Amino acid sequence: MQIIADLHVHSRFSRATSQQLNIENLEKWAKIKGVSLLGTGDFTHPKWFAELKEHLKDDGTGILKTSSGFPFILQTEISLMYTQDKGRRIHLVLLAPNFDVVEQITEYFKKIGRVDYDGRPIFGKSIIEITEKLKAISNDIEIIPAHIWTPWFGLLGSKSGFDSFEEAFKDQLKHIYALETGLSSDPAMNWRLSKLDRYTIVSFSDLHSFWPWRIGREATIFDLQKLTYKNLIKAIRKKEGYAGTIEVNPAYGKYHFDGHRFCKFSCSPKEAIENKNICPVCHKPLTIGVEHRVEELADRPENYKPEKAVPFKILLPLHEIIAKVLNTTMSTKRVWQEYNKLIDAFDNEFNILLNVPFEELRKITTEKIINAIKKNRKGQIKVKPGFDGEYGQAIIETEKQEKLF
């Protein structure tokens, strides 16, 4: 059974999220996208937790299902802000096996902070203490460092992260089995650090809305005999049934290059170093992006590939592709009309992006869109890199665009 899983999502109770983020919309758009397993997001928030218990039923396998049978897994993200040698700000993704364990996690968190003001709560405790306390509740809780390279909240980020997992977790490192790439990195970038070889590389969307250019934009593929929480965790911890990831081009992420958003300035790591990491516009330190940070910590050359490397796919969302071909924005009526035609014909977006023969696509859409899908399947669509909180921009090449970029 192949599972395409997005296990880092949020509810409408997290900051800066869509107010329509509910179980019904998450299920609806996961099916349209082609995602076959979702995280619940935000399981510590009391109002959201009540909705989860109302709408999802556990059949004893640790997989919760809606009334129509769509599967979810209990999941949340937490933010840790504390001092360890210097100020640290780290995000973690948590997976839990059942409602009872979630209630125990929430009771513990209530003792160290609030869980009712934000779906992604903030605690002033170290990653070491949090890991130890959670594992004392249940060894079945999975703790995954989130988007590990982002400058502000990644475990290896340039602003408040560490230089290694060992430094961050110390004696609790034995409980960590996986890392999340984040939008601004991909497995190939993580392969450049030999110390990361032991971890399973997972990718998830960190969605704040359910639209198909957000949900499942990054995902992890599992091949399981049966979908159970135990089998899923085994795949993460032992790489048995782990089949790789779906990534966006890392340049698409909001922190790939160095730069200053408000100065409208971005640059490659090489250019940043030449400028002594100082912004030429405001003359203040640049926000050092993911590519630069990887280069700082890497002990292997670019394009290094480990012997047992699990393959991954690079794809941009279908809305992004259609919008660029039509020279408009993703949410316009023209893009939706083209998108809906394709979905009606071929069931879901991942099927279109990965599987549908081009001769079949020709019956539904234009040659320009087909050519863009071809390039997308090969990971060949160029992206103007994102920086300092700005998404990268896909470039569907025309003669005019090639001259511009």
C-alpha span between 93 and 31 (Å, rounded): 23
C-alpha span between 304 and 294 (Å, rounded): 13
Q: How far is CA 10 from the centre of its chain?
A: 11
Average pLDDT over residues 313-319: 97
Average pLDDT, the chain: 96
C-alpha span between 39 and 3 (Å, rounded): 13
> Residue 334: which region, alpha, beta or left (left: phi > 0; alpha: psi -120 to 50)?
alpha
CB 294 within 8 A of CB 150: no
C-alpha span between 367 and 373 (Å, rounded): 10
C-alpha span between 392 and 384 (Å, rounded): 5
Domains of the chain as residue ranges with CATH: 2-252 (3.20.20.140), 318-380 (no CATH)
In the predicted model, is pLDDT for residue 401 greater than 70? no
Average pLDDT over residues 246-267: 98
Average pLDDT over residues 113-125: 97
**For the chain, what's the residue count?**
405
CB 36 within 8 A of CB 225: no
pLDDT in tens, 81-102: 999 999 999 999 999 999 999 9
Q: Take residue 11 and report the two structure tokens written for it.
A: 């509810």
User: In this predicted structure, what is the pLDDT of residue 59?
Assistant: 87
| Sign of CA pseudo-dihedral 16, 101, 148, 27 | negative
In the predicted model, is pLDDT for residue 41 greater than 80? yes
Q: Take residue 24 and report the two structure tokens written for it.
A: 């019904």
Average pLDDT over residues 18-43: 98
CB 232 within 8 A of CB 258: no
Q: Residue 239: pLDDT band by 50, 70, 90 thresholds?
A: very high
Q: DSSP letters of 117-176?
A: S-SS-EE-S-HHHHHHHHHHH-TT-EEEE-STT-TTT-TT-TTT--S-HHHHHGGGGGG-
Average pLDDT over residues 221-244: 98
Average pLDDT over residues 367-394: 96
Average pLDDT over residues 53-76: 97
Closest CA to 146 of 195, 97, 176, 182: 182
C-alpha span between 79 and 303 (Å, rounded): 32
C-alpha span between 398 and 405 (Å, rounded): 11
DSSP summary character for residue 385: P
User: In this predicted structure, what is the pLDDT of residue 399?
Assistant: 39
What one-letter code names the amino acid at 77?
Answer: E
In the predicted model, is pLDDT for residue 133 greater than 90? yes
**Which position has the token pair 């979630």?**
102
C-alpha span between 27 and 35 (Å, rounded): 9
User: In this predicted structure, what is the pLDDT of residue 66?
Assistant: 98
Q: Take residue 209 and report the two structure tokens written for it.
A: 């809305």
Q: Residue 157: pLDDT band by 50, 70, 90 thresholds?
A: very high
- What's the N-to-C CA distance of the chain in angstroms? 43
C-alpha span between 273 and 267 (Å, rounded): 10
Q: Residue 400: pLDDT band by 50, 70, 90 thresholds?
A: very low
Average pLDDT over residues 254-282: 97
User: In this predicted structure, what is the pLDDT of residue 396?
Assistant: 84
In the predicted model, is pLDDT for residue 402 greater than 50? no
3-class state of residue 366 by DSSP = coil
User: In this predicted structure, what is the pLDDT of residue 404?
Assistant: 32
CB 384 within 8 A of CB 393: yes
